[in-house]
Amino acid sequence: MLHFTDPPTTSGWSEIPAGQRARSGTFGGECLSFAPTPEAHFAGVWTHWAAEIFGPHLLDAMLHAMTSTRADHTRDLLARDAHVAGILAPESVLRLRRAGHAMLGRMDGMRGSRSARRFRAAAERGETPGLFPIVFALQSAIYNVPARAALLAYARLEWRAAREAQGGPWDQPGELDAGLILTRIDARFHPTIEPAAVAAVR
């Protein structure tokens, strides 16, 4: 099971200022990439995040990261990490790095995955950001977690991190609009056939 409450067991966080490394709490009491301001409408920002960040960017990046991990394609994994770092706001990248490094620090054994070991070494050397969604996808892949479950679990962690950052309750799963996320995941796995393509077959 995941746990972030203990300090990382490995070194290598030299690039991240000491005061900004993961603190107590799930993610040090801060958001990940879904970061509504206290005055914002939480559900509204969640819908926006699902449509603008998760759907078009994170979903694809995580699926590719899972495939690359299984195929032991470390370069693809690193490229995907850099790609996500390039499209998100710098403050989001920093938060995702903290969470990603905290998770990497707790991954032991890695089930003999060469790409996972290489990715972790690159993150520790500062050669790749080591973002949380990529690390989460990597771990899900090496433990053979089904992609749909992994992606939904990731979205739930984003939701929870934002809830905790605002001091609100996180233990109300009904509040999380899982349908919003599942729609995007299912659309990725089962894209609707274009009417033109259907007509061409006929």
Partner 1 sequence: MPPITNPEILEKTAEATALDLPWNVVVHNDPINLMSYVTMVFQRVFQYSKERATKHMLEVHQQGRSIVWTGNKEKAELYVQQLHSHLLLSTLEKTS
Q: Give the residues lining the site for partner 1 (CB under 8 A).
A: 1-4, 26, 136, 139-140, 143, 145, 149-150, 152-154, 156-157, 160, 171, 173
Nearer to partner 1, 2 or 187 (CB): 2
> How far apart are the C-alpha atoms of 51 and 43, rounded to whole Å?
12
> How far apart are the C-alpha atoms of 75 and 92, rounded to whole Å?
23
CB of 82 to partner 1, least distance (A): 24
CB of 137 to partner 1, least distance (A): 10
Residue burial 62-75, b: 16+ Cβ < 10 Å; e: rest: bbbbbbbbeeebbe
Our measurement of the distance from residue 30's CA atom to the centroid of its chain's CA atoms, rounded to an integer in Å, reads 14
Residue burial 132-146, b: 16+ Cβ < 10 Å; e: rest: bbbbbbbbbbbeebe
> How far apart are the C-alpha atoms of 66 and 97, rounded to whole Å?
18
CB of 17 to partner 1, least distance (A): 26
Nearer to partner 1, 33 or 140 (CB): 140
Name the token pair of 16: 């991240």
Per-residue DSSP letter, 167: T
CB of 146 to partner 1, least distance (A): 10
Nearer to partner 1, 56 or 146 (CB): 146
Cβ–Cβ under 8 Å, residues 118 and 128: no
Nearer to partner 1, 44 or 186 (CB): 186
Nearer to partner 1, 49 or 159 (CB): 159
Our measurement of the distance from residue 12's CA atom to the centroid of its chain's CA atoms, rounded to an integer in Å, reads 20
CB of 140 to partner 1, least distance (A): 6
CB of 190 to partner 1, least distance (A): 20
Per-residue DSSP letter, 18: G
